[in-house]
């Protein structure tokens, strides 16, 4: 099997597109709607979804891959609420940090701090693919959540 190799600039373009889209959705919704959860079992607010994505990026791209610990409280991410302007600024800071973490990663090397329960053969490149997988998945979740919240506003 041949290896698929993409440059860090291409990878970051995809991650940045997802983060910017989520940042803009939260900003467009404003403080009230961005912090609201649809009345559906297990639903999260757009604010919480983006907060979770920031936690995912720090945990996997820095803590797992590089061994540089980024503090994270996963449960608190899903309960997060606040001002969208603050979250937008935090998103932009994370985008810059992510670029540095990705640039320093070695796609063929093993993670410096492997996650418990993960395949021990996983490479840093595969960890980064997991980061993008989470961003893409949660971007779609946020789009649906936004649409539901706006429909309820009617």
**Domains assigned to the chain:** 29-153 (1.20.120.450)
- pLDDT tens by residue, 3-32: 667 789 999 999 999 999 999 999 999 999
Measured between alpha carbons, how far is 64 from 99 in angstroms, rounded to an integer?
16
The pTM assigned to this predicted structure is 0.94
Candidates 33, 56, 70, 40; CA nearest to 139 is 56
Pairwise CA distance, residues 113 & 10, whole Å:
25
Which sign, positive or negative, has the C-alpha torsion 49, 54, 57, 63?
Answer: negative
Q: 48, 77 in Cβ contact below 8 A?
A: yes
- Between residues 46 and 154, which one has the greater pLDDT? 46
């Amino acid at each position: 099997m041949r290896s698929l190799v993409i440059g860090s600039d291409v990878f970051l373009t995809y991650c940045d597109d997802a983060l910017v889209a989520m940042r803009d959705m939260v900003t467009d919704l404003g403080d009230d709607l961005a912090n609201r959860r649809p009345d559906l079992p297990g639903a999260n607010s757009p604010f919480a979804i983006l907060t979770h994505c920031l936690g995912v990026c720090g945990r996997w791209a820095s803590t797992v891959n590089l061994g540089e610990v980024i503090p994270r409280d996963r449960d608190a991410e899903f309960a997060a609420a606040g001002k969208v302007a603050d979250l937008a600024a935090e998103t932009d800071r994370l985008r810059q940090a992510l670029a540095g973490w990705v640039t320093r990663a070695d796609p063929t090397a093993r993670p410096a701090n492997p996650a418990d329960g993960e395949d021990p053969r996983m490479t840093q490149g595969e960890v980064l693919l997991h980061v993008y997988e989470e961003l893409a998945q949660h971007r779609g979740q946020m789009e649906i959540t936004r649409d539901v919240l706006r429909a309820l506003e009617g």
